[in-house]
Structures are given as structure tokens and as C-alpha cells.
Amino acid sequence: MKTFFAKKEAHKPRWYIIDANNQVVGKVAVRAANILRGKHEPTFTSHVDAGDFVVVVNAAKAVFTGRKETDKEYMTYSQYPGKEKVFTPKSLRARHPEEIIRRAVRGMIPHNRLGRSVITKLKVYGGAEHPHIAQQPVATKI
């Protein structure tokens, strides 16, 4: 028997849409990461970018469980001494609500070249409107 390996050229990517309205951030991120990687396909190959595009709408209305909205901390570091910035999801939601979903999904995909190419297929919008109507995205359940 021969082992089947999916080829990127043979895969025609589809578009999926996820509505994050009143959904838990982690559950939205897991579903989006699995679709981006292609784990929902029977031809999943771990080293090939054979996933699909994901559009997440209403990212500003996604919720955290427990006290994560105020207790969880995000951190950035500019590589300069003393320039570490720490902020909560509450303050991040006020400035960039779509960044909460993007960071959650980014943490669930590989941290290498494959992950950097996969994350470009994620489109996150704070409201219900998005410019990807022409791609006819298919609604997916969480």
C-alpha cells in the first residue's frame, strides 16, 4: 500500500464563515484553527497547507468564561529593556476587538513557516459585515 499525501496544488480552498456572537472565544478559535489547518478534511496532511479560508464575524461580541475578561493578561515585548506591555482582554476589546480571536487562533496553529502561511487565511471582523460575499462562504456551527 502507498501512503497518501495531500498536495497543495490539488486542493481547492473553500470559504467558511463563523458567527462569534455570544460564543466562547476558545471554542470559536478551535473551530477556526481546525478549518485553517485542514483537519476537517479526510485528506489531512500535517506538513501541507491544505486548509480552507475562515471568516469570523461579530468578534467584538465573543465572550470569555469565568473572570478571564479582567484576569487574563496578554503581553508584548519590543526587545528594548523596560518595554514590556501587559494588557487585559477588556482593554484590547476596546481598541481592537478582532485581535482577541486572532491571538487565540494563532496560539492553536504551528509556530513555524506553515503556521505563518495558514494564519493569512483567517479574516476576522468586529461587526456583522464582511467584504467576502463574492466567495460565498458556508456557515459553520461551533
Assign residue 97 the CATH number of its domain: 3.90.1180.10
| Residue 31: inside a domain | yes
- Torsion sign (Cα): 27, 44, 15, 8: positive
* C-alpha torsion angle, residues 106, 111, 113, 117 (rounded to 10): -10
Give the rounded percent of residues in the chain with a pLDDT score beyond 90.
Answer: 89
| Residue 3: inside a domain | no
Question: How many Cβ atoms from other residues are within 10 Å of residue 116's Cβ?
Answer: 13
pLDDT tens string 66-76: 999 999 999 99
Phi, psi of 17 (to 5 degrees): -125, 135
Mean pLDDT of 7-25: 94
| Residue 8: inside a domain | no
Mean pLDDT of 17-38: 97
Count of structural domains, the chain: 1
Domain that holds residue 90: 15-139
Structure confidence at residue 6 (pLDDT): 87
| Residue 9: inside a domain | no
pTM: predicted TM-score of the whole model, two decimal places: 0.92
